[in-house]
Amino acid sequence: MTDAAALPGQPRGGVISGPATARARCVLAPNPSPMTLDGTNTWIIAEPDSDLAVVIDPGPLDEAHLQAVIDTAAQAGKRIGLTLLTHHHADHAEGAGRFAELTRTAVRALDPALSLGGEGLAAGDVITTGGLELRVVPTPGHTADSLCFHLPADGAVLTGDTILGRGTTVVAHPDGRLGDYLDSLRRLRSLTVDDGVSTVLPGHGPVLNDAQGAVEFYLAHRAHRLAQVETAVESGHRTPAEVVANVYAEVDRSLWPAAEMSVRAQLEYLGEHGLI
């Protein structure tokens, strides 16, 4: 869910389709929109010499897309062994139940209500299906149940909506909280500094090959937006709608409802820290 960043130097690229790293390939869901960019990236992750694959975010309930994911895995000599979700939003998770039926696999997510036939996920969990090593990294902020998955063998992290391949993400207030989101970005920055993560495999948009640069951009963007919101309030713009009209004046109005969620999260954060 994009927030339409206004800073220069933001990550950009084209639509991805097919292999992205040695262990990851993408199937793009046919649900493009201002909020989903080119569509949802459904990721197929597998060790090159294994016949089992893990799917992350099967996407919307679109029968043709779900079948395309299965067919893409089969063309690579893989069958689906497990389904994982980065968070509960429909563009990532709506098709999970049907995908589980088609593949006869369990679905695992942070929220137990989304898990089907398997345990929920938690910090420190390591997924080993088909010999993979996928580490669960809790990254609340976009939503309370947002997760990322660290793929050490490829120096990559699958970020769902926490970091997008283009633009920036929404802090989906009230479920999402800005303080949590900033902490999650710092957690991801530590992966780039301490654990050799160089590649972002996002839930929307193109692959980013400068993970640390992307995280730093996101942190700078959030600081910039907070300063804008604080200034807008000091100038007399009191309601979230007024702040959006002031701060996001140059942004397509179709994105203003999403921007208002982020503004509400920012106003809450500023209030909690005594800044307004």
Residue spans of the domains in the chain: they are 18-272
| Bond into 174 cis (ω within 30) | yes
- State which H helix or E strand residue 42 sits in: strand 41-45
Whether 122 has a pLDDT exceeding 50, the answer reads yes
SS3 150: strand
pTM to 2 decimals?
Answer: 0.92
**Residue, of 12 and 221, whose pLDDT is higher:** 221
Determine whether domain 18-272 maps to CATH 3.90.420.10. no
Q: Select from 206, 211, 163, 165 the least CA-distant residue to 190.
A: 211
115/77 Cα distance (integer angstroms): 26
Please tell me the number of Cα atoms within 13 Å of 206 on its side-chain side.
10
Which of 62, 91, 145, 161 does the annotation list as catalytic?
Answer: 91
Position 16 scores a pLDDT of: 60
pLDDT band, residue 238 (cuts 50/70/90)? confident
Matching residue, tokens 């098709």? 95
pLDDT in tens, 156-179: 999 999 999 999 999 999 999 999
Could you tell me what percent of the chain has a pLDDT over 90?
Answer: 88
Burial level of 216, CB count in 10 A (0-12/13-18/19+)? middle
Stretch 36-48: mean pLDDT, rounded?
97
Instruction: Please give the structure tokens belonging to residue 155.
Output: 């120096």
Establish whether 62 is a catalytic residue: no
| pLDDT-derived band at 184, boundaries 50, 70, 90 | very high
Q: Which two tokens stand for residue 168?
A: 């920036």
Token output for 3: 């927030």
Residue type, 21: T
* Residue-level pLDDT at 2: 56
Statement: residue 96 has pLDDT above 90: yes
- Is the pLDDT confidence value at 275 over 90? no
